[in-house]
Amino acid sequence: MSDNQASLTADGKSIEMPVRSGTIGPDVIDIRKLYGQTGLFTYDPGFTSTASCDSAITYIDGEEGVLLHRGYPIGQLAEHSTFMEVSYLLLNGELPSPAQLDTFSHTITRHTMVHEQLSSFFSGFRRDAHPMAIMCGVVGALSAFYHDSTDVADPEHRKISSHRLIAKIPTIAAMAYKYSVGQPFVYPRNDLSYTGNFLRMTFGVPAEEYEVVPAVERAMDRIFILHADHEQNASTSTVRLAGSSGANPFACIAAGIACLWGPAHGGANEAALNMLKEIGTPDKIPEYIARAKDKNDPFRLMGFGHRVYKNYDPRATVMQKTVREVFDALKVSDPLFETALRLEEIALNDPYFVEKKLFPNVDFYSGIILSAIGFPTTMFTVLFALARTVGWVAQWNEMISDPGQKIGRPRQLYTGPAARDYTPLDQR
Ligand code: SDX
């Protein structure tokens, strides 16, 4: 990494700050001494120009639409890898050998069961509770079951907690779905793949054998790969900030799930399909395009735009291709796919979207696939959380293992009243 200097002059004060370079991507100005030497803060709500950490896990080039996991392009991983292998890669930094992958898969598989008492948490929710509300509650409650592994300073505790979270999140996600439809929970099976196990726990019933459809298993596994990690997005930053206080990993992941739920973030996949259903047929598209462009209308095209991608989200490319594969495998079609393709075509030729560099993101097509597989829209963000758990866990481990790590504590620009004396009630 090459280092040089940046200088800042403000309020008659001048300061030299080191500029650091990463492997690839923008250099950073190290401002850690700024306040101490000038009494000034930087100001960056939404962190549009702020690097919050060093990280070696995921790299995004928003201008070029590039996404790398430990250097490997997302398109190659989606084409050739599996979610278990990508999980190993994110956690350990290198692709596993066959023996390493077998051991990792075996370990994860044997942590997929949850404590039997965890099942009783579900009955406290209304049957129509949003599954993301259940995920927030139940995942946070895991910390009540694993007092043996919440010492974040202990690498062995971090390892077993990481494996437990990656292994149990599909089981809990499937239980959230089963609870919402009033069907019995289905226990995991050790002879199935990670994704096959999840599909059977979700759609299997005790009354008959569940056959995993290989093409659906492959598509679901690829969707998990596409959602596994994405640099310092809002929910990952939430996990890092929660973890920086020393909170246990189960609580940190529950915080990440809560943040992901928002429609501007992981909730966009549910919102995007609901939007397509509201639009209905292609002839209604112009009306919604106009609304999306109207400053006085809060409506936005869900599944479009991104804080970092100012080009096509490479995950959306893979997602669109996967729609056709799932339709062929299940011999189904969905008119909303045609509406989505037409909406994309119109938007990408509209000056408003072109000038603001608004392209489809990972959430634009995912709902169509998930709906075809049989998931209700309320489960879409749960599936995003399921896949992103490995990314959150990898980023949490990276932060906790950093010897320079300290609690995150941003400052502010104070705009409230200056100091003033209390006025007694009888004088107000
Ligand atoms: C995810 O960060 C990540 O990596 C997230 C994620 C991940 O993997 O973790 O990639 C997953 O969250 C994908 C994004 C899902 N969200 C949506 O699809 C919701 C719709 N998109 C937007 O709300 C918006 O694009 C954001 C929130 C995604 C990004 O917003 P920014 O970067 O804060 O940009 P902005 O809101 O300031 O928008 C810039 C301009 C604005 O217009 P002006 O005020 O400049 O005139 O573009 C407009 C916005 O009004 N705009 C849109 C739009 N998105 C932005 N206009 C219409 N439709 C949209 N979708």
C-alpha 203/C-alpha 195 separation (Å) is 12
* Residues acting as catalytic residues: 306, 363
426 is written with which tokens?
Answer: 């009888």
In which order are the strands placed within the sheet that holds 72-73?
Answer: 58-61, 66-69, 72-73
Tell me which residue has its CA closest to atom 52 in ligand 1.
300
Residue with tokens 């930094």: 93
Most ligand 1 atoms within 8 A of CB, residue of 306, 357, 362, 366 to mutate: 306
Residue among 16, 382, 324 at smallest CA distance from 176: 382
From atom 26 of ligand 1, which residue's Cα is the shortest distance away?
306
Whether 212 and 186 have beta carbons less than 8 Å apart is answered as: no
Q: What is the pTM of this model?
A: 0.95
Q: Which atom of ligand 1 is nearest to the CA of 303?
A: 18
Using the mean position of ligand 1's atoms as its centre, give its distance from the Cα of residue 216 in Å: 30
CB 219 within 8 A of CB 322: yes
pLDDT number for residue 10:
86
Torsion of CA 67, 68, 73, 74, to 10 degrees: -60
Closest CA to 336 of 314, 367, 376: 367
Chain length of the chain? 428
User: Phi first, then psi: what are they for 371, rounded to 5°?
Assistant: -65, -40
pLDDT at position 147, please? Answer: 84
> Which residue ranges have their beta carbon within 6 Å of ligand 1?
230, 233, 264-266, 268, 292, 300-308, 356, 358, 361-363
For residue 348, give the amino acid letter.
L
pLDDT for position 11: 80
Residue nearest to atom 15 of ligand 1 (CA): 265
DSSP codes joined into one string, 233-292: -HHHHHHHHHHHTT--HHHHHHHHHHHHTSTTTTTHHHHHHHHHHHH-SGGGHHHHHHHH
Q: Minimal CA–CA distance to 364: which of 324, 330, 315, 328?
A: 315
pLDDT of the chain along its 428 residues, tens only?
A: 445 999 999 888 889 999 999 999 999 999 999 999 999 999 999 999 999 999 999 999 999 999 999 999 999 999 999 999 999 999 999 999 999 999 999 999 999 999 999 999 999 999 999 999 999 999 999 999 998 888 999 999 999 999 999 999 999 999 999 999 999 999 999 999 999 999 999 999 999 999 999 999 999 999 999 999 999 999 999 999 999 999 999 999 999 999 999 999 999 999 999 999 999 999 999 999 999 999 999 999 999 999 999 999 999 999 999 999 999 999 999 999 999 999 999 999 999 999 999 999 999 999 999 999 999 999 999 999 999 999 999 999 999 999 989 999 999 999 999 999 999 999 99
Distance in angstroms (rounded) separating the CA atoms of residues 288 and 277: 12
Residue nearest (by alpha carbon) to ligand 1 atom 55: 305
C-alpha 63 – ligand 1 centre gap (Å): 15
What is the position in ligand 1's atom list of the atom closest to the CA of 272? 18
Please report the pLDDT score of residue 1 as a whole number: 42
DSSP states of 92-107: HSSPPPHHHHHHHHHH
Report, in angstroms and rounded to the nearest whole number, the Rg of the chain calculated over CA atoms: 23
